[in-house]
Amino acid sequence: MENNVLEAKDKGVFVSLIGVVAEHPGEARVAATPETVKVIRSLGYEVVVEKGAGAKAAFPDADYVSAGAKLVSAAAAWKADIVLRVNAPSDAEIKRLKKGAVLIGVLSPALNPKLLEALSKQGVTALAMDAVPRISRAQSMDVLSSMANIAGYRAVIEAAHEFGRFFTGQVTAAGKVSPAKVLVAGAGVAGLAAIGSASSLGAIVRATDPRPEVADQVKSIGGEYLAVEVDEKMQSSDGYAKETSKAYEQRAAEIYTEQAADVDIIITTALIPGRPAPKLITAKDVALMKPGSVIVDMAAAQGGNVAGSVAGKRIVTKNGVIILGYTDLPSRLPSQSSQLYGTNLVNLLKLLTAKKNGKLTIDFKDVVQRSVTVVKAGKITWPPPPVQVSAAPVAKAEPEPMPEKKQMSPRTRGALIAAGMAALFGVISLAPAPLPQHFLVLMLSVVIGFYVIGKVHHALHTPLMSVTNAISGIVVVAAILQITDTTLLVQVLAALGVLLASINVFGGFAVTNRMLKMFTRGDK
């Protein structure tokens, strides 16, 4: 089979040449690094890299050559069987793709229906890295999480750059400096990264999120969780944020207004896949903030969480509040971002190339492959069937009441005791000598064992060991009484009984003592 063949059957697509193309001028990341190129080649693929594709991310062409890739022109890279890209291609770039090619990148299929139509007309297969389902085995391919982690960190760095004061509190000879107060709206991956970064710089960090289960995560990294208390519980079945109720939005708005008048920095991270970003911070809230305060709107690319934010711009309001609407936060750490993105992409290629033979196969029976495939052989396959990654907790069924044990009446208990005593006296009266004597000794031994040894406190003696020693005590008492017998065999057996039973008793106490020492302080 030729390398350039595209098979439109459910079995998938077969390719062998991978091209790494350069991004648009405003993007510093690259889809593959020299390190990930080595892994891609180990899967059986040949790799070509557009000249200068990794220069902005500090990956020179020579490193790609050392990794086994070939340097080619832009036109040649776009003509590869598989094209790796970070951002979605333009209309002109789509026309560079040959029919039957596979494009892998961040495509935002829910927000770009025209892009899907253009890819469909070109007759290609498109895989959206940002459509990976939020399931456990797909975590290594989750581009949104890896990029959000970097973006959350970088948001704090950008805020610190604009903020004209310390984040941490200090006490100096010249006076006391109070720590900065930071509010993070949304405690997802980006939000948690921002909380951890701001907290590590010494700031007082507060966070909001519709999901109460993230409260412990916020606290664990040094933040304070501000609960929005309404009569609803936010739950997600696909791992992504959901729209909130009117009651929640009203109470949250009150909290944002209260915090805006108090905090120095606000970082917003609220995004709902496939929909415009919800408005959280109003113009009134911005007007309440102190001059020199900073707002980082991480959702600016999708409409923004903050009134007045502009995608890609730095805005200064009339009251001196700086609003950053940067949309390229991961790109501002290009080396690290490229490595993480490249690793996510490699993990997807491993899934699609299970045989490591350089042939990419798409299996729609696999939920991950089905979800990321937005166009297949020129046919739009978006949206995929919903993927259930979590479910609302099922109400626990009330346990069936245990049937009450019938209590033995005093009359019945007395009758049984009387019957037992009668049976005992009957055995003693009818049994030939010396059986009654031995039987009486046995009963007394039982009483001694269970009421003397068995009553030892469990802190000093486990219940199991108490029972064991009780039985051993019975053996010891009985053996001692028989050791004076005139028969040699009886004497030997009695001596062995005393020895073995004593070993068991003393050994039990020795083990117990050793266990107690494990819980004893060293200075005691």
Residues marked as catalytic:
134, 139, 142, 145, 240
Residue 250 corresponds to which tokens in the numbers above? Answer: 């009203």
Strand spans (E) along 24-174: 46-50, 70-72, 82-84, 102-105, 125-128, 170-172
Rounded to 5°, the CA angle 31-22-119 comes to: 80
C-alpha atoms less than 13 angstroms from C-alpha of 40 in its C-beta half-sphere:
33
Q: Reduced to 3 states, what is the DSSP secondary structure of residue 46? A: strand
The set of long-range contacts for 497-500, using a CB threshold of 8 Å and a minimum separation of 24, is 500/475
User: For residues 307 and 283, is the Cβ–Cβ distance under 8 A?
Assistant: yes
Strand spans (E) along 301-368: 314-316, 322-324
Q: How many Å apart are CA 195 and CA 265, to the nearest integer?
A: 12
**Location of structure tokens 């700086």:** 322
Q: Reduced to 3 states, what is the DSSP secondary structure of residue 486? A: coil
* Signed CA dihedral, 20, 22, 26, 32: sign only: positive
Residue 115 corresponds to which tokens in the numbers above? Answer: 């892009």
Identify the H or E element spanning 155. helix 143-162
| Pairing label, strands 46-50, 17-20 | parallel
Nearest partner of 509 among 464, 461, 474, judged by Cα: 461
In b/e form, how buried is each residue of 86-111, taking b as 16+ CB within 10 angstroms?
bbbbeeebbebbeebbbbbbbbbbbb
User: For residues 156 and 394, is the Cβ–Cβ distance under 8 A?
Assistant: no
Contacts of 54 (CB under 8 A, 6+ apart): 30, 32, 33, 34, 60, 61, 63, 64, 338
Task: Sheet with 373-376: list strands edge to edge.
Answer: 70-72, 46-50, 17-20, 82-84, 102-105, 125-128, 373-376, 379-380
The 3-class secondary structure across 166-216, one letter per residue, is CCCCEEECCEEECCCEEEEECCCHHHHHHHHHHHHCCCEEEEECCCHHHHH
